Structure formats: structure tokens, C-alpha cells
A and B are shown apart, each in its own frame.
Chain A
Amino acid sequence: MSPAPHTRKGRSRRPKVALFVTCLADVFRPSVAFASLALLKAAGCRVSVPEAQTCCGQPGYNSGDYRGARDVAKRVIGMLENADYVVAPSGSCAGMIVKHYPSLLEGEWKERAQALASRTWEICSFLTDVMPLAAVDQAPEAALTRRRIAYHDSCAGLRELNIREQPRRLLRKRAGVETVELEKRDVCCGFGGTFCAKMPEISATMASEKLRDAIDSGADMLVGGDLGCLLSLAGRASREGIYLEFRHVVELIHDQRSKEGIGASNANETDTQ
């Protein structure tokens, strides 16, 4: 096995991590990106936020626009390949870089894509498998430990990157949270990127099944590693009038979080429920 990028030449130093913010965190949930920054620093990384980043190009790729996706992929590779690691608060975007960029590109670009793929991580797996985050000293927050929190495995994280136990372990270690499990934890929530806009009715049926599963588990908060799933589920819950709090997992393993869950009204004090 080759040495980790930050310990090459036998010299250990703080690794240089580029945070891939993801378009959804940038627009809908800046606190997810701020929490990611803080957690990466706490784990001993030097973190940069490349200025020119936009999105990984997955919507076009999954809609069959391979040419457009190649253009985007090349830009992302050029922008990120100088970092020791690239970390994203999303299994789906990290999966795009890890699994799909190399298969999309040819020749020299394929090699660069593969090199980047080998250094790209979803944040929970990075903070568990690469730069382990220490447990916190203080007692876990009562506001969290008295909640019933379920973890939603997003498909890309689960199947493309084998992320299963890492977020649960971090929640236990950092926030004192024991997650409850959904009965159909390996079934898609119906988001599927552009799928949810192309086939809204089928997508909503799948989302409703996932919400029912979450309610049946007794959970009052659903936490996940991908904002796509969470925004879609929160939007469906709002439409159905279902009360559940939705949060990205980094919001819980970092101790400062925005007051409201995803899609919750500013007027509601959801934290105290």
C-alpha cells in the first residue's frame, strides 16, 4: 500500500484538504459546509475552499449529457488535484468523483481522474477511516440524547463508497447519539437527482414510504449524509404535513448547529420539541 499522501517521504505533516462544498450545501445549507470546515480542522487538517468550485456535474451526467459532464469533470479535477485529499459532505458528490469521473474520461485525463479518486472522501468516512476525529470530553447534549434519531443511508454513499457504520460511529462518539434503524434502510428515498423532477409522482410515493418507515421506527429526527435526500424528504414531509426534523449528520457531530432543521419554519423552535 502506498503511504497516505500527507505522510509521503516519511514526513508527517498536517494534510492539505480541499473542501468540496457541494452545490446544495452552498445554496440551501451553508451551516453544513461551516460544520465540515470546523470538523476537518479539529481532525488536524489544513483546509482550503477552492474559490472556483461549482458542482460535480452529476445532474447532466445522469441525464445522459456525457459531453457536458466531461467538461465539468475536467475542470473539477484541475481545480482539486493539488490537495492531499478532497472531502465532500455528500456520498453522492464524492461518489461521482470517485466512481464516475474515471469511467467517463479517457487517456491522460482518466489517469488524473483515478489519482484524484484515490484521494477523495465523503466526510464521515474521512473522519473515521483517514483522519479519525477524537471523541469529545464533555457530556453529550441532552437536547440530542433525548431525541430518537434515525440515520438515512443514501444510496451513493452506501453502494459506491461503502459508507455504513462510519456516520453512526461518529454520532455515537461525538454526540452520544445511538441511532435507531429503519426497517428498509437500504431502500432508496426516491430523490435520485433529476429523477425526482422527471417522475415526481413515483418519486413522491417512494419518499412517502421512506417517511412512513422513519415514523414507524419511532424517530423524531432523520439524519443523513446527503442533502439531496434530506431536502427531498423534508419537502415531501412538509407537503404531507408530517412532523420530522431533518438534519445533515455533520450538524450533529459538530456542536454548533443552526436552530432549525432542514425546511423547518424560522418561527418554530424545533430544538425544544
Chain B
Amino acid sequence: MKQTSATFLQNAHEAMLQPQRSVNRQQLGTMMPQLRDSGVASFGDFDALRSHVSEVRTHTLDHLDHYLDSYVKQATQNGNEVHFARDGDELNRLVSDICQRHEARKIVKGKSMVTEETALNDHLMAEGFQVTETDLGEYILQEAGETPSHIVGPALHKPEAEIRDLFLDRHDLGDRELGDAAALVAEARGLLRQRFLDADVGIIGANALIAESGYSLLVTNEGNGDLCANLPPVLIVCTTLERLLPRFEDAMDLLRLLARSATGQPISCYSTLYSGPRRDGEEDGPLETHIILLDNRRTDILASDYREMLHCVRCGACLNHCPVYVAAGGHAYGWVYPGPMGSILTPLLTSLEASHDLPNACTACGRCEEVCPANIALPDLLRDLRQEEFLTQLTPRRWRLGMRAHAWLLTTPGLYRALTTVAVRAMTWLARGRGSLHRLPFAKGWSTARDCPAPESATTFMHQYNSLRKSRHGR
């Protein structure tokens, strides 16, 4: 996926010009938090659960070598082949090698952000494989040639009418009515069913890897992941190191947090544990299974001050609750992961240079941290990234000098007082009795989108207060 994070502001500008999609986003920003709230309210002590899971995650990362060892041992014993991929290219090559070895032509895929990260589809298609995304949202995007705008609902940005036009255009099914959403779903379902049956290889992701048993857990609401995993003769699970949890019950705790935070559901419609290939005497399931563990800078994150970002469960709650995400839309962020979690992960997984606007796309409102099921201090991490920008001079020179001068001024009260006195007088003079100033010298950023309310009076509070005190003492 070509990264366009460097033009975040321009991307956001274009997104905000699309009225229908803007309305959709605002509806999403209203509806999803309501669903999440009711899901969380029905649980009981959600905070206790998230603190507990957070402790388990911290413990697991602290002893990653131990749990990784146990997982690999168990998974191998269950008949899986476990591979490690240092970066996206390595994962892509591992996948295409397996496919080639089986002389596969047709591949079905469940939803997986990890393979979005490595741009696996582009790689496989360039190698001549036919790849079908089977999650409905991902399928729509594949047909439309678009990228996900949300990590849970990848096609949430697309209005129903656009999807109808797309299906009528892309599906060779003759004249037909596609009345409502149900008709659209039924049509996609019918077409996808044959793809599952024809597929040579299935690719899925994982929501958790269980160290004690070597099992992986996958949740979906459509059941497409299970069809990808069970119908084709070969299964490949593409996932990352930080999905590891020690025990089965830890994965169940995670499931409780994840489903409620993502969609308000007590549990996702399909929650499946995968052990490995078909065993002797069994009638179904894949004949061969591979698990690829992708690093792609995650061990760097593990060793950095951003370690807690590895606790992220990919529920999308921080996106749904972020007013910047709702205003600008997921595509503005220009890569795989949008919203608050994406504004941290994108710089860490790609580079801060290529995404320097993202850590600034935050008002520090704290709503994401409030709902994060992994208790990640997202606004603090975003601010820390801004500090890195400041120190590495990625912050525009004008801002850096401005902030340095500002800090100096704040510690020099006499001069500060003199300057505010002049500024208040100047603004009052410029306003000439009107309530606000239409343009503000030296503050273009402010005045492009709003007026500047004029000061209430021509002198500062400190000036007025000191004069009052003086006149009282004088009397």
C-alpha cells in the first residue's frame, strides 16, 4: 500500500469536501460510541477486567522469549509449521513460496491488517495468483480498488448506493434489482461461496496466540475466516508477536474486552480456536497449516518508550471516539492504521519523517484513552512523538523558534507583561468596536477558519488589577 501520510492535511481537506461521506462519518462517530457504551455497561466491572488484561499483557511482553518458545513448541507439536518474518517482504515471500510449492492458483483471504501492512495482495497478484478478499468490507474495497478507512469496518466510508453501483458494474449477473443492504450481502455471499470451494490456499490473521497450547484465536462476524481456514487444503495464518498470551483464559478475557470495545457485542459472532492441520481420522480441515510471525519493527517498539503500544488489541474504539478521525476520515492518515492508534503506529512502523503530521492530529481530548480496552495512554504517546519531532527538527522551524521564544517569554514576566499590554491594545484598536477580528497578524493558522474574538477591554487583567491596588493604597 502506497503511503500518503506525508500529505495528511491535504488528504483530510479532500475528505472533508465530500458531503455524503462526511455525514456517514459523523453518524459513525455517534453510533459506535453508543454501541460501545451499552456493551461495556452490560458487563459489570469493565475497568477491573481491562486492568487485569493489561497486567497480563505487560507480563507476557516482559517474558516474551519464554512464551514465544512455548507457543512455537506447542504449535509445532500440533503439526503446524511456524515461520518468522523480519519484515513485510519476508512475509510476502514466505506466503508466495508456500503457494508455489502447492502449485496453487486461487487464494481466499480473511480480514487481516497485518497483510495490509505488508501489501500481501499486491505481491501475490504480481506473482500471478488470484486473490479474493472474503470479508464483505474488504471484498467491496478490493472490487473498488480502494484501501480500508477503518481497522474493523474497512468499508465504512462507502455509502450503500456506491456499493450497489459497484456490484452492478463488477458482477456479471445481468439485469437485476439490488434493493436493500440485505440484497447486496446476499449477492456477495453467493459469489464468495464458490470462491471458498475453489480455493487452493486460505490466509487468515489472528487475534490471539495462546502459548500454553499453541492455538490461535480468530474472531469474525461473518464466518468468512472459518471458511478460509477449513475449506482449502492449505492454511496460512499471518500474525505478529504481540498477539501472544499465556493461557486460554487470558484469550477469553481479551475476547470480552475486544468485542465490547469494537462493536458493543458481548462476543463476536464467530470466535474460533485453530489448533493445526487435520488429524488422522478427521474428515475436514486443512491438510497443511503454516503460521507466520511477523516482526516488522515490533521488537524495536518492545525496546522503546512506546512499548505499551504493543498492548493494542485492534478494536478500533479509539478511531470511533476520536473527533479528528471522525472529521478527517481514515484515508487521510495515508496508511494502514488510522486514528489515534494509527498516529502512533504509523511513525513507529514506517518513519516519523513520512508521517510527521499524524502525532499532531490530536487535541489531547483524552477520549481515546478513556475507552481504550488496553489502557494505553494514547495522548501521552502522541505527545512524546511530538517531542521527538521537536528534537529531531521535524517540527517546522517557525514553530520550534516560536515555542522556544514563548517559553523564554513565560519565564521573563516583565517583558511578558509589556508585550501582552501592547498586544491587547493592538487587537482592541484593530477590532474598532467590532466583537471580533477577521484577520489576525502573525496568526494565520487561527484566522483561516475562525475570527478572533476581540479582547474585552483595552488593558490586561494584570494591568487593571495593579492599577486598582495602587489607587487603593494611594487613598
Beta-carbon contacts under 8 Å, B11-54 to A: 12-13, 16, 22, 26, 29-30
- A155–B22 Cα distance when bound, in Å, is 23
Measured CA separation A187–B408 after assembly (Å) = 33
Contact B387 A235 (CB under 8 A): no
Interchain CA distance A239-B447 in the complex, whole Å? 9
Q: Give the contacts of A52-111 with B (CB-CB under 8 A).
A: 52-55, 57, 59-69, 71-72, 75, 103
Cross-chain contact A235 with B360 (CB below 8 angstroms): no
CB neighbours (8 Å) of A196 from chain B are 445-446, 449-450
- A interface SS class: helix
The CA-CA distance from A33 to B465 in the complex, in Å, is 9
- B461 and A34 within 8 A (CB): yes
Q: Evaluate contact between B423 and A64: CB separation under 8 angstroms.
A: no
Decide if B327 touches A202 in the complex (CB within 8 Å): yes
- Say yes or no: A191 contacts B16, CB within 8 Å: no
The answer for the CA separation of A265 and B436 in the assembled complex, in Å, is: 7
Q: Which chain A residues numbered 1 to 53 have a C-beta less than 8 Å away from chain B?
A: 21, 23, 25-31, 33-34, 49, 51-53
Contacts of B389 in A (CB 8 A): 64
13 contacts between A and B (CB under 8 A): A23-B420, A27-B424, A30-B465, A33-B465, A65-B407, A68-B406, A191-B363, A203-B363, A205-B22, A206-B324, A206-B327, A238-B436, A239-B449
Q: A69-B407, A188-B323, A264-B435 are in contact. List 6 more A-B contacts (CB 8 A).
A: A26-B462, A27-B423, A28-B455, A183-B30, A195-B364, A199-B357
CB distance from B423 to the nearest CB of A (A): 7
Q: How far is the CA of A202 from the CA of B410 in the complex (A)?
A: 29
Chain A, interface size: which category? 35 or more
- Taking Cβ atoms with an 8 Å cutoff, the residues of B that contact A are 9, 12-13, 16, 22, 26, 29-30, 323-324, 327-328, 357, 360-367, 369-370, 380, 383, 385-391, 395, 399-400, 403-404, 406-411, 413, 416, 420, 423-424, 433-436, 443, 445-446, 448-457, 459-462, 464-466
Judged by a CB distance under 8 angstroms, whether A267 is at the interface is yes
Whether B443 lies near A197 (C-beta < 8 A) is: yes
Q: Are B462 and A235 in contact (CB under 8 A)?
A: no
Q: Are B390 and A65 in contact (CB under 8 A)?
A: yes
Interface residues of A in 167-197 (CB under 8 A from B): 183-184, 186-188, 190-197
Asked whether, in the complex, the Cβ of A238 is within 8 Å of the Cβ of B450, the reply is yes
Which of A134-142, A215-223, A255-263 sits within the interface? Answer: A255-263
Most buried by B among A54, A57, A160: A54
Report how many A-B pairs have Cβ atoms within 8 Å. 226
Is the beta-carbon distance between A188 and B361 smaller than 8 angstroms? no
B457 touches A63 (CB 8 A): no
Q: Does A236 contact B (CB under 8 A)?
A: yes
Q: Are A28 and B365 in contact (CB under 8 A)?
A: no
Q: Is the CB of B433 within 8 A of A266?
A: yes
Q: Is the CB of B410 within 8 A of A62?
A: no
- Give CA–CA (A115, B466) in the complex, Å: 29
Across the two chains, which residue of chain B brings its CB closest to A260? B435
A232 within 8 A of B: yes
Which residues of chain B are within 8 angstroms of A201 by Cβ–Cβ distance? Answer: 9, 12-13, 16, 448-449
> Distance in Å from the Cβ of A102 to the closest Cβ of chain B?
13
A234 within 8 A of B: yes
- The answer to whether A68 and B403 touch across the interface, beta carbons within 8 angstroms, is yes
Which residues from A are CB-within-8-Å of B435?
238, 260, 263-266, 268
Q: Is the CB of A235 within 8 A of B451?
A: yes
Tell me how far the C-beta of A262 lies from the nearest C-beta in chain B, rounded to whole angstroms. Answer: 5
- Say whether B367 contacts A155, CB under 8 Å: yes
Given contacts A27-B424, A235-B436, A54 and B13 within 8 Å (CB-CB): no
